[in-house]
């Protein structure tokens, strides 16, 4: 199978590939650093899975590291320095790699991981200082610094070979690895690059960190199309509208919460983003209100809602916002739309029987975006990756999402199947509560959390940011729409809601504070 690097080498080498903090790097420079990293990688095997871990944050070296790993014919596994050491160790142990690429300035942070990891590693350092420090501290690992930048002939690979492994939360408390093949990744790019409509001269955002699967879209859509990638750092994410305008971004991708923040800070003004040609949103439900505000702010841009789990190589269905969207939407949420080319779906009931016609059911998906199982977790893979009786050779992935098909063939996300709670014996859909909270509070930054005693839900607590109304007024409005058992026991008004590193509302932090009776 041809390497992705070969496609990148066909771009004009003088075009800008990455712009970080106002400093641009050309495709020639990027491929030169990637080549140096690829040569260093060839001194190790990558372990039985032929993968390489990369330790660092958004920097030129880490981006070059991703492409250097692919140039060497191996898959990459991102490790964030902010993760706890135990989680990083679990990732290293599961991948069984013998190579780690270390970005400059993280030698002290990586030391506890090197101390405790089971494998003897080849550590390729960006910086001589880090290499010298670590080699004096750890005798069983081998340390080296990458050589001079120079392009390298890429290694061809099998379509089934691993392109990357990302870890999601596991039911056992340990991270769960999702290996995505080069075949999956190339299929994704074949569908999404034309949809994004980008090429040389375009400027693509990167809001997501490397461990979030949407980062794959950001990085590979930009670089494989000949566009320029514009990563956002932590401070940029606090002022995203300013970043878009300053850098004249043409293709934007983020979670809807980022757009909600712009609404709240009143930076999502009409025609504020004239440079935008495409706006992608994914990772959580996109409220109609937010989509309407975004469309006014970026009148020249397509607005596309993406849906897909990590197991489907970022995205498997899309919905493009249009004039009919408000009428087609349900519960104030933009639909997840229709399947991308070569991707398939069915809806099934609790007995795993296929649901026909306009109905609700658990969404199961298949196609060349869909991976084949979890890393070294055969039992969990067997429970989520299934075969149906009518075709025992076609693999389907159970998303765990309750989805509804409408009469026009459009799919609507209803809720996670594990997001249903019981209050006093009544079944309560938290998403329905949240929809009414958003309407009553006139704020999209509203969540409903279930407080339980381990066996049953005791109460529903609402937390709302940026509402002009009091708690009593919000509850009174909700009582007009919801039965008594669905009403929150109280509404906590806050100035802001905590966000995780990917810009989503961090529900776990809010719940922990509620349980600990801390100030929100």
- CATH of residue 387's domain is 3.40.50.12780
| Residue 175 within any structural domain of the chain | no
Q: What's the average model confidence in pLDDT over 274-290?
A: 93
Q: Each residue of 162-199: pLDDT tens digit? A: 999 998 866 454 678 999 999 999 999 999 999 999 99
- Provide, rounded to the nearest whole percent, the portion of the chain with pLDDT above 90: 72
Q: Which segments within 112-160 are labelled E, that is strand?
A: 122-125, 142-145
R_g (Cα) of the chain, nearest Å? 23
What domain range is 429 assigned to? 419-515
Q: Residue 493: which pLDDT band, with cuts at 50, 70 and 90?
A: very high
Is 359 a member of any domain?
yes
What residues are paired with 252 via a beta bridge?
A: 279
Q: How many residues does the chain have?
A: 520
Task: Look at residue 182 in the predicted model and tell me its pLDDT.
Answer: 96
Distance CA 32, CA 25 (A): 11
DSSP three-state, residue 379: helix
Residue-level pLDDT at 422: 67
pLDDT of residue 195: 97
Q: Please indicate, yes or no, if residue 173 is contained in any of the structural domains.
A: no
Do 442 and 473 lie in one domain? The reply is yes
Identify whether residues 361 and 438 lie together within a single domain.
no
Which has the minimum average pLDDT: 219-228, 237-246, 455-464?
Answer: 455-464
Whether 167 is covered by a domain: the verdict is no
- Residue 83 counted as domain residue: yes
Residue 66 scores a pLDDT above 60: yes
Instruction: Compute the distance between CA of residue 98 and CA of residue 100 in angstroms, rounded to an integer.
Output: 7
In a domain, 302, yes or no: yes
Tens-digit pLDDT profile for residues 387-424: 998 888 999 999 989 999 999 999 999 887 866 676 76
264 pLDDT band, cuts 50/70/90, is confident
367 and 226 in a common domain: yes
Contact between 462 and 451 (Cβ < 8 Å) = no
Please identify, among 361, 380, 414, the residue that sits at the C-terminal boundary of a domain.
414
Higher-confidence residue of 257 and 272: namely: 272
> In terms of domains, do 452 and 371 share one?
no
d(CA 100, CA 76): 10
- Please give the pLDDT value at position 1: 53
For 112-137, write each residue's pLDDT tens digit.
999 999 899 999 999 999 999 999 99
For residues 494 and 509, state if they share a domain.
yes
Q: What is the mean pLDDT of residues 300-311?
A: 96
For CA atoms 177, 182, 184, 185, the dihedral sign is positive
Total domains present in the chain: 3
Claim to verify: residue 72 and residue 113 sit in the same structural domain: yes
One domain, residues 144 and 230 = no
- What is the structure's pLDDT at 455? 46
The pLDDT value recorded for residue 508 is: 87
User: How many angstroms separate the CA atoms of 502 and 294, rounded?
Assistant: 19
Q: Measured between alpha carbons, how far is 359 from 423 in angstroms, rounded to an integer? A: 26
The alpha carbon of residue 398 and the mean position of all alpha carbons in its chain are separated, in whole angstroms, by 18
Give the chain's mean pLDDT.
Answer: 92
Percent of the chain residues past pLDDT 70, beyond the cut = 96
Strands (E), 375-456: 385-388, 391-405, 411-416, 420-423, 426-429, 446-452
Q: Are residues 353 and 434 in the same domain?
A: no
Residue range 264-280: average pLDDT? 95
Note whether residue 92 is domain-resident: yes
Q: What is the mean pLDDT of residues 298-324?
A: 94
What CATH number does the domain containing 71 carry?
A: 3.40.50.980
Whether the predicted pLDDT of 383 surpasses 50: yes
Residues 225, 218: Cα–Cα separation, whole Å: 11
**Residue given tokens 């249903």 in the structure block:** 420
Residue 235 sits in the same domain as residue 328: yes
Give the pair of three-digit tokens for residue 192: 């999404």
Mean pLDDT of 241-253: 97
Residues 193 and 322 in one domain: yes
Q: What is the DSSP string of 195-216?
A: HHT--TT-EEEE-S-TTSTHHH
Rounded Cα distance between 373 and 383, Å, is 10
- Two tokens, residue 206: 């990167």
H or E element at residue 295: helix 288-297
CA 496, 497, 498, 503 dihedral sign is negative
Alpha carbon distance 501, 472 (integer Å): 33
Strands 162-168 and 176-181: antiparallel
CATH number of residue 485's parent domain: 3.30.300.30
8 Å CB contact between 266 and 294: no
**Chosen domain end from 347, 381, 414:** 414
**Residue at a domain's end among 365, 389, 414:** 414
d(CA 465, CA 449): 14
Q: In this predicted structure, which of 5-14, 494-503, 511-520 has the lowest mean pLDDT?
A: 511-520
457 with 487: CB under 8 angstroms?
Answer: no
Task: Answer yes or no: is pLDDT of 502 > 50.
Answer: yes
pLDDT at 360 over 90: yes
- CA 263 from chain centre, in angstroms, equals 22
Averaged pLDDT for residues 474-485: 86
Distance set, CA 134 to CA 56, 81, 83, 115 (Å): 16, 16, 20, 10
Domain shared by 101 and 152, yes or no: yes
Separation of first and last alpha carbons in the chain: 52
Q: Do residues 331 and 479 share a domain?
A: no
- Other CB atoms within a 10 A radius of the CB of residue 326 amount to 14
| Angle, alpha carbons 203-339-166 (nearest 5°) | 60
Beta bridge partners of 22: none
What are 319's two structure tokens? Answer: 């919905």
With respect to residue 200, please indicate whether it lies within any of the assigned structural domains: yes
Residue 460 binned pLDDT confidence (cut-offs 50, 70, 90): very high
Tell me the mean pLDDT in the region 258-274: 93
């Amino acid at each position: 199978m041809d390497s992705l690097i070969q496609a990148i080498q066909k771009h004009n080498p003088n075009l800008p590939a990455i712009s970080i903090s106002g400093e641009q790097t050309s495709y020639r420079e990027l491929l030169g650093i990637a080549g140096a990293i690829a040569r260093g990688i060839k001194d190790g095997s990558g372990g039985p899975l032929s993968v390489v871990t990369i330790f660092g944050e958004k920097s030129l070296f880490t981006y070059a590291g991703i492409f250097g790993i692919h140039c060497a014919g191996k898959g990459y596994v991102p490790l964030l320095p902010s993760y706890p050491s135990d989680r990083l160790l679990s990732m290293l142990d599961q991948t069984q790699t013998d190579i780690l690429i270390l970005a400059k300035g993280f030698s002290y942070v990586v030391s506890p991981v090197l101390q405790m990891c089971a494998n003897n590693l080849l550590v390729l350092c960006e910086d001589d200082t880090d290499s010298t420090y670590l080699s004096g501290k750890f005798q069983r690992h081998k340390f080296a610094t990458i050589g001079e930048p120079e392009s390298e002939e890429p290694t061809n690979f099998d379509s089934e070979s691993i392109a990357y492994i990302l870890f999601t939360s596991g039911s056992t408390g340990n991270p769960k690895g999702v290996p995505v093949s080069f075949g999956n990744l190339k299929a994704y790019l074949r569908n999404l690059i034309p949809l994004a409509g980008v090429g040389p001269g375009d400027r693509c955002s990167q809001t997501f960190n490397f461990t979030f699967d949407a980062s794959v879209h950001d990085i590979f859509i930009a670089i494989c199309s000949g566009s320029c990638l514009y990563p956002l750092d932590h401070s940029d994410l606090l002022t995203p509208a300013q970043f878009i305008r300053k850098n004249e971004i043409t293709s934007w991708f983020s979670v809807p919460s980022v757009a909600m923040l712009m609404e709240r800070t009143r930076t999502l003004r009409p025609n504020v983003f004239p440079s935008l040609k495409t706006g992608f949103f994914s990772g959580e439900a996109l409220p109609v209100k937010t989509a309407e505000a975004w469309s006014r702010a970026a009148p020249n841009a397509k607005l596309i809602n993406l849906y897909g789990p990590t197991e489907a190589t970022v995205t498997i269905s899309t919905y493009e916002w249009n004039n009919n969207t408000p009428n087609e939407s349900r519960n104030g949420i933009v639909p997840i739309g229709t399947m991308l080319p070569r991707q398939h779906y069915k809806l099934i009931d609790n007995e795993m029987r296929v649901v026909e016609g306009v109905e609700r059911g658990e969404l199961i998906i298949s196609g060349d975006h869909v991976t084949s199982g979890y890393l070294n977790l055969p039992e969990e893979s067997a429970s989520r990756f299934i075969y149906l009786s009518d075709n025992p050779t076609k693999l389907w992935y159970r998303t765990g999402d309750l989805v509804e098909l409408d009469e026009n063939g459009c799919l609507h996300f209803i809720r996670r199947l594990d997001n249903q709670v019981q209050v006093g014996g009544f079944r309560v859909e938290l998403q329905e509560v949240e929809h009414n909270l958003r309407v009553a509070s006139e704020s999209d930054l509203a969540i409903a959390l279930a407080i339980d005693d381990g066996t049953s839900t005791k109460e529903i607590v609402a937390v709302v940011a940026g509402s002009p109304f009091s708690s009593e007024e919000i509850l009174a409005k909700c009582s007009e729409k919801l039965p008594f058992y669905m009403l929150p026991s109280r509404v906590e008004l806050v100035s802001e809601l905590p966000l995780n590193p990917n810009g989503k509302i961090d529900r776990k932090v809010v719940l922990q504070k509620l349980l600990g009776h801390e100030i929100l």
